[in-house]
Chains A and B, each alone.
Chain A
Amino acid sequence: MSTESRPQPSGPPAAPRPPASIFGPPRPMGGLGIPAQKAKNFKGTLNRLLGYLRPHRNALAVVVIAGAIGTVFQVVGPKILGLATTKIFEGYLAKASGAPGAGIDFDGIRRLLTGLVVLYVIANAFQYLMQFLMANVAQRTVYALRQEVEAKFDRLPLKFFDTRTRGEVMSRAVNDLDSISGTLQQNLTQLLTSVLTLIGVIVMMLTISWILTLGIVLTLPLSLVIVARIAKRSQKFFMQQQAALGALNGHVAEMYGGHTIVTAFGHEQRAIATFDGLNAKYYDGAWRAQFVSGIIMPTMMFVGNLGFVFVAVIGGLLVTRQSIAIGDVQAFIQYARQFSMPIMQLSGIANMIQLTVVAAERVFELLDEPEEAADAPGATVIAEPRGAVQFDRVHFRYKQDVPLIDDLSLDVAPGQTIAIVGPTGAGKTTLVNLLMRFYDVDGGSIRVDGIDIREVKRGALRRTFGMVLQDTWLFSGTIRENIAYGRENASSDAIVEAAKAAQADHFIRTLPENYDTLINEEASNLSQGQKQLLTIARAFLADPAVLILDEATSSVDTRTEVLIQESMHRLMHGRTAFVIAHRLSTIRNADLILMMEGGRIVERGSHHDLLAAKGRYAALYESQFAGRAVTA
C-alpha cells in the first residue's frame, strides 16, 4: 500500500487501514476501534459484491463445508481431553484410596488420545483446505473485478478522464480493489470460523454444564458493551487524529513540492514552525486514539479472566459436589478461553467489512459511470480516406452554461493545412477533441470524405487521423514497440523506415541496444526531443490521411527543434493537417488560419487576409513575430 512508487501526497487522508499484508495476524486486530466510513447503500453494495462470488459457488460450498468440519472437529477436542483427564483423575483417586488393582486406565486413555490425534489432523487439514480454496476464489474474484474496471476504462468517454485526476482514478482501481481482495481472502473465512466456533463452543459447554455456560455467556454482553463504549470514545480521537494528519500531510506535500521556493525566499524556519505545530496537534490526537483503542484488548482479557475464574471456582465447587467430572472443568476452562477469541475477531471483522463495502461502493460507482455511446448500427469504415474534412454548423460546449463553439463551419480539401493559433488556454485542443470524436458535437455535424463521423466506427475513424502532441506519451517497452504502436503487425523494415523518415534512426542507433532499448517508466533515458521524434515516427508508420500536430515549444532546445520541425514538415507532405501552430512558417503557409481566443474562433482566413484585417491576429503577429523577423 505504501510502496515508494505510489505516494499520495494530497487529497483526503485514507482511513488508517492496517497494512494490507498478505499474511493473516495483524489485520483483524487493527480493525478495532477505527471509525468506519459509512456506505451510502450498504445492503445493495454488499449484495452486488457477493454477486461476484456467484461463479465460485461450488468452491464456496466446499469452503463452507470444510470450514464447518474443521471447526467442529477442533471444538470437540477439549471435551475429549477432558474425558482423558477424568480417567486419569479417577485412576489416581482409586490408587490413592488403595483399592487393589486400581490404577490409571492407560488403554482407555490411549484410545481416546489416538482418536483425538486423528480428529485434530482432520480438523486442521480441513482448515487448510478452506484457506487453500479461498485463495483461488478471492484472487479470481478480484481478477474479474479488475478486468471489468479495465474494460470499463475503454468504454468511458474522454470527458471522464479529463475531469478527474489520475490519482483519483488509480485510487479506485488499485487501493479499493486491494481492500476488497484482503477482505475476501481473510475476513470471509474468519467470519465463518468465528461464528461456527462461537456456536460450537456454546453447544459443547451446554453438554457439560448449563450453569457454567450461563456464566460464560453472560460475559458476552458485558464485553460487547465495553468494546462498543471504548470504540465510540476512540472514534472521537481517531477523527481528531485524522484531521490533524490530513493537515500535516498537506503541509508536508506543499512545502516539499515548493522546496526551491521555500529555500529561495528563506522561509525554512517558518515551514518548520508550522510543521511542529501541526505535528504536536497530531501527537495529541494520535496517542489518545492509540491509548483508548489499546484498552480494548486488556479489558476484553479481563472479562475473559472473569469467566475463567468463575469456571475454576464454580466448576471446582461442582466437582466437590460431584455434579460434574474434573475433566469437564478442564475442558470448560479451554472453552472459556476459546470463547473470547471469536468475539474479538468478529468486532474487528465487522469493521473491516464496513470499510470493504465503502471501497466496493467506490469501485461500483466507477463501473456505473455513463459510457460512450456505442457505434451506430451499420457504422461504416472509410475504406480509402482522402482527407476531406467538413465542419457543418457545429455547436459544442463542455459545460451547458459556458458558450464555446457556436455555429462553426469549415471546409477543408484533401492536403490542405489548417493552422490553429491563439494564446494558451484558448481551447485549441477542443477542435482536436471533436475531430477525433473524443467528444461528440452538440449540434451540426463533422464529415470526413462526406461521411458524418458519427456514422463511422470510432476505431476506424481514429485510424484515419495521426496525432503528434507536445505531451509525448510513450509506454514502458522497447523503442521498436513504441514506434510499432502506430500500426499493428508492422514489419521490422517498416519500423526502421518510419524512424528514418522521422530522423530518429540516427539517435536510436547510438543507444546501447538500438531499437531494442527499453524505455523506462518516466522515459528519463530519452530527452524530450528524442521522445518527440519517436512520436513522429509512430505517426509516419500509421500513415494517416489526416494529421493533427501540436508544435513543440520551449521544452526542447532550438537545434533539436529544427530536427523536429523538418520531420513534421515531411510528415505533413501530401496530407490534410490541423496544426496547433507556434511557428511563423507553418502559419504563413497555412491554407487557413483559425485565430482562437477564450475557446472561440474569433478570426479566420489566410495570413494576408488576416493581416490586412488588422484584428487580433494582426496584433498577435506584431507582438510575436514582427520584431524577430526584422532583426534577423
Chain B
Amino acid sequence: MLKLTPFLGPHRRQLALVLVLALAQSLANLLLPRLTSDIVDQGIVRGDQFHILEIGGLMLLISLLATAGAIAGSYVSAQVASGFGRDLRGAIFARTERLSVHQFARFGAASLVTRTTNDTTQVQQMLIMMLTMVIAAPMMAVGGVILALSQDAQLAWVLVAVMPVMAVVFALIMRGAVPLSTVMQVKIERLNLVLGEGLSGVRVIRAFDRGARQRQRFDHANLDLTNTAIAVNRLIAVLMPALILMLNFTSVAIIWVGSHRIDAGVMKVGAMFSSLQYAMQILFAVFMVTAMFVMLPRASASAARIREVLDLEPEIADPAAGPVVEAVRLPGGKGHIEFRNVSFQYPGAEEPALTGVSFTAHPGEMTAIVGGTGSGKSTLAGLIPRFYDANDGQVLLDGVDIRTLPQAALRARIGFVPQTAVLFTGTVAANIRYGRDDASDEEVRHAATVAQALDFVEAMPEQFASPVSQGGTNLSGGQKQRLAIARAIVRRPDVYVFDDSFSALDFTTDARLRAALRDETVHATVFVVAQRISTVINADRIVVLDDGRVVGVGTHAELLESNEIYREIVSSQISLDEVA
C-alpha cells in the first residue's frame, strides 16, 4: 500500500484539507457529549431551564458544523480518491503499453487487465474508506480519552483500559480467521477449477460417460469448501458479540466507578453522562478500524500486484535523441534484413532460444523459416519488429542496427501478421486501416482483394462499413486471418513478417492468397514462418532451425540434397501421407 503513496503527491493540499476537516468533525462530535454534561450539571442540577435551551442551541450549531465538515470532507476525499485511482490506472496502462511483447507475455493479458481495472478499484476503495471513516477514528479515540481525562482521571482509565483488551480479542479472533480464510480461498479456487474443467471438457466427459465421476469430484470440492466456510463464519461470529460485550461491560464499569467518584464528591453526574457517550464513540471508532483491517489484506495484495507492473522497466527503449542514423543505400531497393550472429535467451530460461543466427534477406525475396516446435522460429520473427532485443549480435535493416532506430520508425516499415489474428472493435475498413491511417478507400479495397477478403466482406450487410465485434467473434478464424493480412498489406511495408499466418485458411484460399501476395510483394522482403513444407517449397531461401541454431540455408532443392534435418522434416510430412 505504502509504495503507492507517490500517487497521492499531487493531492497533498487536498489531503491536508481532508485531515483538517476530519479533525474539526471529530472535535465537534466530541463536544456534544461534553455539552450534555453541562446540561446535566448546570441545567438540570440547578434547575436552570434557560441554560438548557442555550446549550441546546449551541449543540445544534455544532452538529450543523460537524455535518458541513463531513460533507466537505466527503467532497474532497471523493475527488482525491477518484483522482488517485485515475492517475494510477493511467500510469499502469501507459507502462503496460511500453512493455515488450515478452514482458507482456510474462504477466498475460488477463492478469494485466485485472491489475489495471479491479486492482486499482480495490485500492481506490480502500483509500476512500480511509479518508472518510478511518482517519477520524484515532482522533475520536484520542480526543475522547483526553476529554474524559479532563473531567475525571479515574473514570477515564476505564476507557483507556478497555482499548488494549479489545485489540487483543480482535487480534486473537483474526489470528484464527485469517489463515482459515486463506485456506478457504484455495478451496474456492479448487471448486472453480473443477467446475471450469467440467464445462470445457463436457464433450469428453460425456463421450466417456464419466458424468458420475465429475459430479463426485465436484461434490468433494463443494463439501470441502462448505465445511471450511462454516468454520470461518463460526469463528467470525464471535467478533461482534465479543466487541459489544466489552462495550456493555465498559458502560457498567463507568456507572460503578462513577457512582463512587460522585459519592466521594470529586466528580459531577454530568461527567458520568458524557463518559458513557465517549465509550460509545470510541467503540464506533474501533469498529471502523476493524473494518479497515478486514479490507487491508485484499487491498495490499492488489497494491503489490500493481507495483509489480509499475516497477517493471520496459526492456526495449528508444535510442537517446541524437542525429538520425542515415540508412545505408544498398542495391536492390529498401528492406534488406541481415541477422549477424544473433543470440537470444528469454530471461530466466535455461537454454538460449536462438544461438548464433546469421543470414541475409533481400527485397523481392521470400525467406522461409522452418523447424520443429520450440526450434525458435517465432522468436526469430519477433526479433525483426523488436518484440525483444538480441542478447548478442545484431539485426540490421538496410545496414543499420535496428536498436539505433526509433521503434516507431522501425515498425512503420514492417507489416506483421501474427499466428492468431487479432482484430479490434470497429468497422472492417477501420481494422484494415489500422495498418495505415491515411489509406484511401481504394487502397483498403485493394488490400482486401489481395488478402482474398473481398468476397466475404462484400457479402456482409454493410460491406466495408460492417462492424467487427470485440475480439472479432462475428467472423470465422479464416476471415479474421485474411483481414489481418489485409491490414499488413495496406501498410505497404518494406518488410513483411508472416508468423505462421496461413494455418487458419482452407487450402484453396491459401493457394490463391499466396499467388496474389507474390505479385503484391515484388519489391518487399518477405519472411514466412511455416510448419508445412508445401508452404515454403517456392521460397527463395529456406532457413532451417533446430534447437535455436541455423542448421541450413538454401532453396528446397538444395536443402533436400544436402541437409539432413530438412530431409527429416520433409520425410516426416511425406511419410505421413505417403508411407503410413
Choose one: A19, A287, A326; the contact of B40 (CB below 8 Å). A326
Interface string of B50-91 (1 = CB under 8 A from A): 001101100110011011001100110111011101100110
- Min CB–CB distance A108 → chain B (angstroms): 10
CB distance from A80 to the nearest CB of B (A): 9
Would A473 and B204 count as touching, CB distance under 8 A?
yes
Does residue B163 face the partner (Cβ distance < 8 Å to A)? no
**CB atoms of B425 and A254 under 8 A apart:** yes
Are A326 and B569 touching (Cβ within 8 A)?
A: no
Report the minimal beta-carbon distance from B60 to chain A, rounded to whole angstroms: 5
Contacts of A620 in B (CB 8 A): 507-508
Q: Mark A19-60, 1 if CB is under 8 A from B, else 0.
A: 101111110000000000000000000000000000000000
Known contacts A25-B294, A143-B222; is-contact A4 B305 (Cβ 8 Å): yes
Contact A473 B532 (CB under 8 A): no
Measured CB to CB, the nearest residue on chain B to A627 is B534
By a CB distance below 8 angstroms, the chain A residues around B500 are: 554
Question: Most chain-A Cβ atoms within 10 A of its Cβ — which of B196, B200, B287?
Answer: B196
Nearest A-chain residue to B96, judged by Cβ = A256
Partner of A131, one of B44, B196, B233: B233
Which residues does chain A contribute within 8 Å of B101, judged by CB atoms?
A: 259-260, 263
Most buried by A among B116, B476, B503: B116
Q: Which residues of B contact A132 (CB under 8 A)?
A: 234, 237
Q: Nearest Cβ in chain A — how far from B380, in angstroms?
A: 15
The 5 closest A-B pairs by CB, nearest first: A131-B237, A298-B70, A423-B506, A313-B56, A294-B74
Listed stretches A151-159, A357-365, A494-502; interface member: A151-159
Sample (15) of A-B pairs whose CB atoms are under 8 Å apart: A4-B305, A22-B229, A116-B252, A132-B237, A135-B233, A150-B195, A158-B206, A253-B109, A256-B96, A261-B416, A265-B487, A305-B32, A320-B49, A423-B508, A560-B373
CA distance A473 to B251 in the complex (A): 64
Q: Which residues of chain A come closer than 8 Å to B387, judged between CB atoms?
A: 260, 263-264
Which residues of chain A have C-beta atoms less than 8 A from B171's C-beta? Answer: none
How far, in whole Å, are A258 and B263 apart by their CA atoms in the complex? 79
Q: Which of A273-281, A412-420, A510-518, A600-608 contacts B (4 or more CB under 8 A)?
A: A273-281
Verify if B524 is at the interface (C-beta below 8 Å from A). no
Interface 9-mer from B2-10, B268-276, B327-335, B343-351: B268-276
Closest A residue to B509 by beta carbon equals: A423
A554–B86 contact, CB under 8 A?
no
Among listed A167-175, A394-402, A446-454, interface-contacting one: A167-175
CA separation between A423 and B291, bound complex, in Å? Answer: 59
Q: Determine if B376 is an interface residue (Cβ-Cβ < 8 Å).
A: no
Are A460 and B209 CB-contacts (below 8 A) given A259-B101, A263-B387, A305-B32?
Answer: yes
B373's partner among A104, A294, A557 (CB-CB below 8 A) is: A557
A5: CB under 8 A from chain B?
yes
Per the bound structure, the CA–CA distance linking A561 and B395 in Å amounts to 33
CA distance A558 to B536 in the complex (A): 14
Is B203 a contact partner of A256 (Cβ separation < 8 A)? no
Closest-by-CB residue of A relative to B98 is A268
The count of chain B contact residues (Cβ–Cβ below 8 Å) is: 187
The reply on B441 being an interface residue by CB < 8 A is no
Q: Is the Cβ of A139 less than 8 Å from the Cβ of B97?
A: no
CB <8 Å contact, B241 and A125: yes
Segment of A89-97, A204-212, A344-352, A385-393 in the binding face: A89-97
Chain A residues with CB under 8 Å of B232's CB are 22
Q: How far is the CB of B73 from chain A (nearest CB, A)?
A: 8
Residues of A within 8 Å of B32, CB to CB, are: 305, 308-309
Secondary structure class of chain A's binding surface, majority of residues: helix
Q: Does B36 reach chain A (CB closer than 8 Å)? A: yes
Contact for A174 among B195, B197, B218, B578, CB less than 8 A: B195
Among residues of A, the one whose C-beta sits closest to the C-beta of B504 is: A424
**Other-chain contact of B237, A3, A128, A316, A463 (Cβ < 8 Å):** A128
Distance in angstroms from B278 CB to nearest chain A CB is: 12
**Residues of chain A in range 278-326 having any CB-CB distance to chain B below 8 Å:** 279-280, 282-283, 286-288, 290-291, 294-295, 297-299, 301-302, 305-306, 308-309, 312-313, 316-317, 319-320, 326
Contact across chains for A619 and B508 when beta carbons are under 8 A apart: yes
B172 CB within 8 Å of chain A: no
Cβ of A525 < 8 Å from any Cβ of B? no
Q: A81-B251, A173-B195 are in contact. Are A266 and B408 (CB under 8 A)?
A: yes
In this complex, which of B32, B215, B422, B425 has the most chain A Cβ atoms within 10 angstroms of its Cβ? B422
Whether A554 pairs with B82 at a CB distance below 8 angstroms is no
| Complex-state Cα separation, A290 to B113, whole angstroms | 23
Q: Is the CB of A92 within 8 A of B40?
A: no
Q: Is the CB of A25 within 8 A of B290?
A: yes
What separation, in Å, do the CA atoms of A376 and B397 have in the docked complex? 70
Contact of A146 among B116, B222, B273 (CB under 8 A): B222
- Report if B184 contacts A (CB, 8 A): yes
